[in-house]
Amino acid sequence: MTETSTVSLAQELDTLDLRGLTQNQGAGLRRVTAAQIRRAKLIEEGDDKNGVYSLESGNPFKYVEIVANLYDIHRLGAYNQITLIDSTGGIKANYWGPHRFLENMNLTPGCWSYVRVFGKLETYSDKNIIKIIKIKLISDAADIYRHILDILRDIQKADLDYESSQDGQVDELEQPKGQRHTRPGSLSQHPKQFSSRSLGVDIPPLHMTRSINVEDADRSLVPVKEPSALAESISSVSSARTRKPSRRNNSQPTPTQAATVDDLKDGILEYLSRYEDQEDGCHIQELANGVISSQSSRNVHVTSDNLESALQGLVDDGYVYTTISESHFAKT
C-alpha cells in the first residue's frame, strides 16, 4: 500500500469508543457525562492558563476540557449547538461566539474531525450543559490517542467500582477515585470494531489511514503469533465480565502476581483470534474485559497502565487496527 493520508492509525483507533450512540440516537445523547463533572476544575480569581480561564464578574466556575469527535453543528439563533461524541454518549455544548468564527475554522462534522473544547460546566433546571469558552481543531494524532487510553482506564475503573460495590468491601489499592460514572449495561452497544492483523480482512479504512514505506515494510509483515490453547479455553467466556464471588465467602487468595506487558500482548492477540470469522472484530470494551477476566482466572493482576502499554505496543507495531466504516454511523 503506497497511498498516503493525513489521518493516522492512532486517529482511527480513537473512534473505537467515541461513538456512544444507542439504536435510538436521541436516547444516547447527554448534556454532559458524570465523568466530565468529576474532572471539572473549580476556577477562582487569580487562576489563569494561557488566557483560557476568565472570570465573569469575578464569579468562580467549573472548567472542563474535552477531546471528542465533532458529530454535528446546529445553528440556533444567537448561538451554535455542537454535538460531541464522547466515550459514554453524545455531549451537547453551546458556542455563543460569532458564527463566522466556526466557519473560518472549517469545522466539518465527520468521522475524522476531532476538536478540543474548553468550557464552563453550568447547570440550568437541574441539567448540566457546557458553555464553550474556546474550541480548536485537533491535528495532532497523539493528542487523540491519549484520549482513547483515558477511555480504556475509565472502563476498567468503572468495572472495578461495580465489583467492589457488589462485594461489599474493596481493597484500598483497587478503590477507584471519584464517583462511579456508569453502570454495567449503561454503556452503549457499539459496533464490534477491534481486530487483529491476523484476520486478513481487507477493510477500506485500514489502507486509507495507514501508509507503508520501504523502511516499514519488514515490520508490517511480521506474522502474528498463532493462537495458543488459552484462546480455546476462554472461548466460552462471555464478553461481559461476570461478577466475582464476595470476598467474604471466597477463600481463594487475592492475586499477587502482576501481569507483564508481553503477557498482555499475547492475551490481546489470543482473545482477538476468537473473532476470525467476524469482519468487524471485537469492541474495545469486550477486549479489555476478556483479557482482564482471563488473567484473573490465573490469579494474575492486571493494572490499567500495563494494559494500556500492551495495547499501545501492538498498535505501534501494526498488529491491531480498527474496522470502522461510515455504515456504523448511519444507524439510528
Question: What pLDDT band is residue 96 in, cutting at 50, 70 and 90?
Answer: confident
User: What is the distance between the alpha carbons of residues 310 and 292, in angstroms, rounded to a whole number?
Assistant: 12
Whether residues 163 and 300 share a domain: the answer is: yes
Q: Tens digit of pLDDT for each residue in 114-125?
A: 888 888 887 777
User: What is the distance between the alpha carbons of residues 220 and 195, in angstroms, rounded to a whole number?
Assistant: 15
Pairing of strands 127-137, 89-95: parallel
User: What is the distance between the alpha carbons of residues 330 and 332, in angstroms, rounded to a whole number?
Assistant: 6
Look at residue 122 in the predicted model and tell me its pLDDT.
77
Q: Provide the H-helix boundaries in 29-176.
A: 34-39, 99-104, 141-167
Whether residues 120 and 214 share a domain: the answer is: no
Look at residue 306 in the predicted model and tell me its pLDDT.
80
Whether residues 123 and 154 share a domain: the answer is: no
pTM, full prediction:
0.36
Rounded to a whole number of angstroms, the distance between the first and last alpha carbons of the chain is 34
Whether 11 maps to a domain, the answer reads no
Whether residues 133 and 150 share a domain: the answer is: no
Last residue of a domain, one of 106, 139, 172: 139
- Say whether 196 sits in a helix, a strand or coil: strand
Residue 171 has pLDDT above 50, yes or no: no
Whether residues 223 and 315 share a domain: the answer is: yes
Average pLDDT over residues 75-81: 84
Q: Tens digit of pLDDT for each residue in 211-245?
A: 333 344 333 333 444 433 333 333 333 333 334 44
- Residue 79 domain boundaries: 17-139
